[in-house]
Amino acid sequence: MRYLNRLLSVVAAAALAACSEQNPVAPQTDISFNSSAGHGEHAVSVMTRNLYIGTDVDAVMAVLGTEAQGPALRAALLTLQHTDFATRIRAIAHEIATDRPDVVGIQEAYDLYVDQALLELLGLSGGTIQIDFLAQLQAALAREHVRYVVAAKNTTTATSLMDGAVSIIDHDVLLV
Protein backbone atom coordinates (compact mmCIF):
# COMPACT_ATOMS: atom_id res chain seq x y z
CA MET A 1 0.00 0.00 0.00
CA ARG A 2 2.88 2.37 0.76
CA TYR A 3 4.18 1.86 -2.80
CA LEU A 4 0.73 2.62 -4.22
CA ASN A 5 0.47 5.82 -2.15
CA ARG A 6 3.93 6.93 -3.30
CA LEU A 7 3.10 6.13 -6.93
CA LEU A 8 -0.14 8.10 -6.67
CA SER A 9 1.81 10.99 -5.15
CA VAL A 10 4.27 10.88 -8.04
CA VAL A 11 1.51 10.83 -10.64
CA ALA A 12 -0.26 13.71 -8.88
CA ALA A 13 2.98 15.70 -8.81
CA ALA A 14 3.53 15.06 -12.51
CA ALA A 15 -0.02 16.15 -13.26
CA LEU A 16 0.43 19.30 -11.19
CA ALA A 17 3.65 20.07 -13.03
CA ALA A 18 1.99 19.58 -16.41
CA CYS A 19 -0.95 21.82 -15.46
CA SER A 20 1.12 24.56 -13.87
CA GLU A 21 0.15 28.19 -14.43
CA GLN A 22 3.85 28.93 -14.96
CA ASN A 23 5.43 29.26 -18.39
CA PRO A 24 5.02 25.75 -19.86
CA VAL A 25 8.25 25.95 -21.88
CA ALA A 26 10.46 27.23 -19.08
CA PRO A 27 12.44 24.75 -16.97
CA GLN A 28 10.42 23.57 -13.97
CA THR A 29 12.92 21.82 -11.72
CA ASP A 30 11.73 23.31 -8.44
CA ILE A 31 8.39 21.52 -8.21
CA SER A 32 7.93 19.19 -5.25
CA PHE A 33 4.99 17.32 -3.83
CA ASN A 34 4.75 16.10 -0.27
CA SER A 35 2.67 13.09 0.64
CA SER A 36 1.81 11.86 4.07
CA ALA A 37 0.23 8.43 4.18
CA GLY A 38 0.74 7.72 7.85
CA HIS A 39 4.41 6.88 7.27
CA GLY A 40 5.89 10.36 7.38
CA GLU A 41 6.36 12.88 4.62
CA HIS A 42 8.07 12.12 1.33
CA ALA A 43 9.19 14.89 -0.98
CA VAL A 44 9.03 13.99 -4.66
CA SER A 45 10.85 16.14 -7.19
CA VAL A 46 9.49 16.35 -10.72
CA MET A 47 10.99 17.61 -13.97
CA THR A 48 9.20 17.86 -17.30
CA ARG A 49 10.87 18.17 -20.68
CA ASN A 50 9.68 18.24 -24.27
CA LEU A 51 12.17 16.45 -26.54
CA TYR A 52 10.78 18.29 -29.60
CA ILE A 53 11.04 16.68 -32.98
CA GLY A 54 13.00 19.62 -34.39
CA THR A 55 10.58 20.76 -37.06
CA ASP A 56 6.98 21.90 -37.53
CA VAL A 57 5.02 18.68 -38.02
CA ASP A 58 1.70 20.54 -37.77
CA ALA A 59 2.52 22.52 -40.93
CA VAL A 60 2.90 19.27 -42.85
CA MET A 61 -0.20 17.68 -41.34
CA ALA A 62 -2.26 20.75 -42.26
CA VAL A 63 -1.56 20.34 -45.99
CA LEU A 64 -1.67 16.55 -46.37
CA GLY A 65 -3.35 15.52 -49.59
CA THR A 66 -2.88 18.92 -51.22
CA GLU A 67 -0.38 20.24 -53.74
CA ALA A 68 1.45 21.93 -50.85
CA GLN A 69 2.21 18.56 -49.23
CA GLY A 70 5.51 17.95 -51.05
CA PRO A 71 7.01 21.42 -50.45
CA ALA A 72 5.87 21.43 -46.80
CA LEU A 73 7.33 17.99 -46.20
CA ARG A 74 10.59 18.99 -47.90
CA ALA A 75 10.86 22.14 -45.76
CA ALA A 76 10.15 20.18 -42.57
CA LEU A 77 12.69 17.47 -43.43
CA LEU A 78 15.32 20.05 -44.38
CA THR A 79 14.84 21.75 -41.00
CA LEU A 80 14.97 18.37 -39.26
CA GLN A 81 18.25 17.51 -40.98
CA HIS A 82 19.78 20.74 -39.66
CA THR A 83 18.54 20.22 -36.10
CA ASP A 84 21.27 18.98 -33.80
CA PHE A 85 19.21 16.38 -31.96
CA ALA A 86 22.26 14.65 -30.46
CA THR A 87 23.43 17.83 -28.75
CA ARG A 88 19.93 18.60 -27.43
CA ILE A 89 19.45 15.08 -26.03
CA ARG A 90 22.88 15.16 -24.34
CA ALA A 91 22.01 18.51 -22.73
CA ILE A 92 18.67 17.21 -21.45
CA ALA A 93 20.32 14.06 -20.08
CA HIS A 94 22.99 16.17 -18.39
CA GLU A 95 20.32 18.38 -16.82
CA ILE A 96 18.42 15.33 -15.53
CA ALA A 97 21.65 13.80 -14.20
CA THR A 98 22.58 17.05 -12.47
CA ASP A 99 19.16 17.67 -10.87
CA ARG A 100 18.29 14.00 -10.22
CA PRO A 101 14.51 14.44 -10.03
CA ASP A 102 12.46 11.50 -8.76
CA VAL A 103 10.15 11.69 -11.77
CA VAL A 104 10.71 13.01 -15.29
CA GLY A 105 7.75 13.68 -17.55
CA ILE A 106 8.78 13.52 -21.20
CA GLN A 107 6.68 14.86 -24.05
CA GLU A 108 7.28 14.28 -27.76
CA ALA A 109 9.38 11.15 -27.33
CA TYR A 110 9.09 10.29 -31.01
CA ASP A 111 9.88 7.17 -32.95
CA LEU A 112 10.72 8.72 -36.32
CA TYR A 113 11.47 7.05 -39.63
CA VAL A 114 12.03 8.72 -43.01
CA ASP A 115 13.08 6.56 -45.94
CA GLN A 116 16.17 7.63 -47.91
CA ALA A 117 14.27 7.23 -51.20
CA LEU A 118 11.80 9.92 -50.10
CA LEU A 119 14.64 12.26 -49.17
CA GLU A 120 16.15 11.76 -52.61
CA LEU A 121 12.75 12.27 -54.28
CA LEU A 122 12.45 15.60 -52.45
CA GLY A 123 15.97 16.60 -53.51
CA LEU A 124 17.49 16.15 -50.05
CA SER A 125 20.75 14.43 -49.29
CA GLY A 126 21.51 12.07 -46.44
CA GLY A 127 20.56 8.57 -45.54
CA THR A 128 17.48 7.14 -43.94
CA ILE A 129 16.44 9.00 -40.79
CA GLN A 130 15.58 6.63 -37.96
CA ILE A 131 15.50 7.97 -34.40
CA ASP A 132 13.98 6.51 -31.26
CA PHE A 133 14.00 9.59 -29.01
CA LEU A 134 13.36 7.66 -25.79
CA ALA A 135 16.13 5.15 -26.50
CA GLN A 136 18.50 8.03 -27.30
CA LEU A 137 17.60 9.77 -24.03
CA GLN A 138 18.08 6.58 -22.03
CA ALA A 139 21.46 6.01 -23.70
CA ALA A 140 22.51 9.59 -22.92
CA LEU A 141 21.39 9.13 -19.31
CA ALA A 142 23.45 5.91 -19.11
CA ARG A 143 26.51 7.88 -20.30
CA GLU A 144 25.76 10.26 -17.39
CA HIS A 145 25.72 7.20 -15.07
CA VAL A 146 22.08 7.59 -14.07
CA ARG A 147 19.28 5.16 -14.72
CA TYR A 148 15.59 5.91 -15.01
CA VAL A 149 12.99 3.33 -15.91
CA VAL A 150 9.79 3.85 -17.87
CA ALA A 151 6.90 3.90 -15.40
CA ALA A 152 4.30 4.84 -18.02
CA LYS A 153 4.20 5.41 -21.76
CA ASN A 154 1.28 6.86 -23.68
CA THR A 155 1.14 6.97 -27.47
CA THR A 156 -0.53 10.20 -28.55
CA THR A 157 0.00 9.97 -32.32
CA ALA A 158 0.91 7.17 -34.68
CA THR A 159 0.85 7.96 -38.36
CA SER A 160 2.44 6.90 -41.58
CA LEU A 161 2.70 9.01 -44.72
CA MET A 162 3.47 8.30 -48.34
CA ASP A 163 3.01 4.53 -48.16
CA GLY A 164 5.27 4.19 -45.13
CA ALA A 165 8.10 6.40 -46.34
CA VAL A 166 7.52 8.53 -43.24
CA SER A 167 6.45 7.12 -39.89
CA ILE A 168 5.88 9.24 -36.82
CA ILE A 169 4.90 7.82 -33.45
CA ASP A 170 4.66 10.32 -30.60
CA HIS A 171 4.83 9.20 -26.98
CA ASP A 172 4.53 10.89 -23.62
CA VAL A 173 6.64 9.06 -21.05
CA LEU A 174 6.97 9.04 -17.29
CA LEU A 175 10.46 8.10 -16.08
CA VAL A 176 11.24 7.22 -12.46
Digit-coded pLDDT (tens) for 71-125 = 888 888 888 888 888 999 999 999 999 999 999 999 999 999 999 999 999 899 8
Q: What is the pLDDT of residue 107?
A: 95
Residues 6+ apart with CB under 8 A from 157: 168, 169, 170
Q: What is the pLDDT of residue 27?
A: 47
Q: What is the pLDDT of residue 113?
A: 94
